């Protein structure tokens, strides 16, 4: 291996002891932490270095109030208590940035001519970038709760009315309230989900 294996404490923080948090303490997430978070997650690889994800960090009560009508009722307290709620979206015209972000060759025409490939690439890679955000947040000591219980059209209408960006999912960040950590669910065994050929 070209890199050392992370120690057990790091692996616990990123995976084994990390939990989906459903309630947070009233600890703010600072703008400096948000910038630090982005400056870490941005290094995660994407196809063609396309980086289609776009992020809206909702910190204030006023900003979160715009999101509340889109949420399933059970998700409202999570958003209200989180230090910040992140809307992870994708840019439907991400390929306009390819000439500067992917200088290897002119890949922009591939997407100009193929809307289905553009949409699939944006959705897949923004999902990966959202996962990078979760791991980066955990690495920086933040607790996370990803959410998909919302009406995407309401979110898009409220935050992306011009239609260029489309919401993918939401992530709450902050300091966990132990009351919002449920018992860990089981995981499928390797033999149930994987094969080595």
Torsion over CA: 176, 179, 183, 185 (sign) = negative
Predicted confidence band of residue 1 (pLDDT cuts 50, 70, 90): low
Interval 33-52 mean pLDDT: 98
How far apart CA 75 and CA 22 sit, in angstroms, is: 8
**Cβ 141 vs Cβ 36: under 8 Å:** no
- 3-class secondary-structure state, position 106: coil
- What's the mean pLDDT in 103-116? 95
Q: Which two tokens stand for residue 53?
A: 């994800």
Beta strands of the chain (E only): which ranges? 53-58, 84-91, 143-147, 165-174
The pTM for the full model equals: 0.96
Which residue, among 173, 180, 177, 178, has the nearest Cα to 31 in the 3D structure? 173
Mean pLDDT of 150-160: 98
Vertex 97 angle, CA 94 and 102, to 5°: 110
């Amino acid at each position: 291996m070209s890199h050392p294996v992370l120690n057990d404490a790091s692996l616990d923080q990123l995976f084994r002891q990390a939990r989906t948090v459903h309630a947070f303490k009233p600890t703010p997430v600072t703008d400096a932490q948000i910038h630090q978070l982005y400056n870490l997650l941005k290094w995660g690889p994407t196809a063609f270095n396309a980086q289609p994800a776009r992020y809206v960090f909702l910190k204030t009560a006023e900003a979160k109030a715009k999101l509340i009508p889109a949420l399933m009722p059970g998700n409202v307290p999570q958003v209200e208590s989180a230090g910040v709620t992140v809307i992870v979206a994708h840019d439907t015209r991400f390929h306009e940035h390819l000439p500067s972000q992917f200088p290897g060759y002119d890949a922009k025409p591939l997407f100009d001519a193929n809307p289905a490939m553009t949409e699939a690439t944006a959705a897949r890679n923004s999902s990966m970038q959202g996962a990078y955000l979760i791991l980066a947040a955990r690495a920086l000591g933040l607790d996370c709760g990803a959410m998909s219980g919302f009406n995407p059209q309401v979110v898009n209408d409220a935050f992306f009315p011009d239609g260029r960006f489309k919401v993918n999912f939401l992530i709450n960040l902050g300091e966990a309230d132990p009351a919002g950590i449920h018992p860990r669910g089981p995981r499928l065994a390797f033999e149930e989900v994987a094969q080595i050929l």
